[in-house]
Amino acid sequence: LGGSALQYHLNFNLIWKNFDKLAWGLLLSIELAVIAIAIGGMIGLGLAVIYTGGNKVTRSLITAYVEFVRNVPLLLLIYLVFYGIPSAGGFAYGPVESFVATLALYSGAYLVEIFRSGLDAVPKGAIDAGKAIGLTPWQRLTAVRLPIMLRIVLPALSNALISLFKDTSLASVIAVPELTYGANWIKTNTFRAVEVWMVVAPIYLLTGWIILATLRQLERTLLRGLRR
């Protein structure tokens, strides 16, 4: 161990030179997370509504989907969708489409649970009030249950988006040119592995914090005057 002097000299020049790879990568990471939560949100919302009003068979099918996705590593799901399914079906799709589909199905499974517990938390009095003024079941859903549920789950949705933003780092394994892929590209082409991760880790961290702070502010605006 001897001296404490580092033998490695940090040099960030090559990172800044290739910074466009990271900037475009970050943009794609955010896009992937937003598209995935948009599609996953529709899957989750639809299945949560079906679940709460469904029979035994539909409930078991939804539970099977949720449990499968939640108990298998995301990395494996990404490989399964990108390599596994096309090999058996004799067709192919691009890495970006494949990853978006995977992340949407993945987030869908988590969002079903969020929406379902949100629907359960809608006060019974509000639903009864809807019945009392003669709303049809569909009207009670769209005018009473869903708006109240969305307010309840809003913070959980923000957390889900941040979580998905971090999960997009796995898209690099099937060569989707997002932030981690850009970092790996710079590492392979410049051998500046230490420097690139010293830059990329804070980029993820700060972006996640900025997105979260923005969403919390948005929540406050949306919920203004609605707190009991």
Partner 1 sequence: MTLWTYLANTMPFLWQGLAMTLFVSGLVVVLSLVTGVLVGVAFAYGPWWLRWPLRAFSDIMRGTPLLVVIFTFYYLLPMVQINLQPLPAVVLALALFKTAQVGEIARGAVQSIPHGQTDAAKAIGLKFAGQLRYVILPQAVRRFLPPWINSVTDAVKGSSLISLVGIVDLMLAAQQVIGRTYNPLPIYLLAAAIYFAINYSLSVTSRRLEARYAYIRE
Angle at alpha carbon of residue 86, lines to 67 and 58, rounded to 5°: 30
Interaction between residue 200 and partner 1 (CB under 8 A) = yes
- Of 76 and 143, CB closest to partner 1: 76
> CA separation (Å) from 192 to 23, 41, 45, 203, 204?
17, 39, 44, 17, 19
- Of 18 and 172, CB closest to partner 1: 172
Interaction between residue 198 and partner 1 (CB under 8 A) = yes
Sites for partner 1 among residues 175-194 (CB under 8 A): 180, 183, 187, 193-194
Nearest-approach distance from CB 198 to partner 1, in angstroms: 7
Query: Measured between alpha carbons, how far is 228 from 225 in angstroms, rounded to an integer?
Result: 8
65-104 footprint of partner 1 as x/- string (CB under 8 A):
--xx-xxxxxxxx-xx--xxx-xx----------------
DSSP letter assigned to residue 225: T
Site for partner 1 (CB under 8 A): how many residues?
A: 40
Query: Measured between alpha carbons, how far is 212 from 164 in angstroms, rounded to an integer?
Result: 12
Of these, 103, 170, 176, 186, which contacts partner 1 (CB under 8 A)? 170
4-33 footprint of partner 1 as x/- string (CB under 8 A):
--xxx-------------------------
Nearest-approach distance from CB 212 to partner 1, in angstroms: 9
- Two tokens, residue 118: 């949100």
Interaction between residue 121 and partner 1 (CB under 8 A) = no
Contact 172, 180 (CB under 8 A): yes
Query: Measured between alpha carbons, how far is 60 from 78 in angstroms, rounded to an integer?
Result: 24
- Two tokens, residue 165: 């933003």
Contact 105, 35 (CB under 8 A): no
Burial of 169 (0-12, 13-18, 19+ CB in 10 A): middle
Nearest-approach distance from CB 18 to partner 1, in angstroms: 17
Residues that bind partner 1 (CB under 8 A): 1, 6-8, 67-68, 70-77, 79-80, 83-85, 87-88, 166-167, 169-170, 172-173, 180, 183, 187, 193-194, 197-198, 200-201, 204-205, 208-209
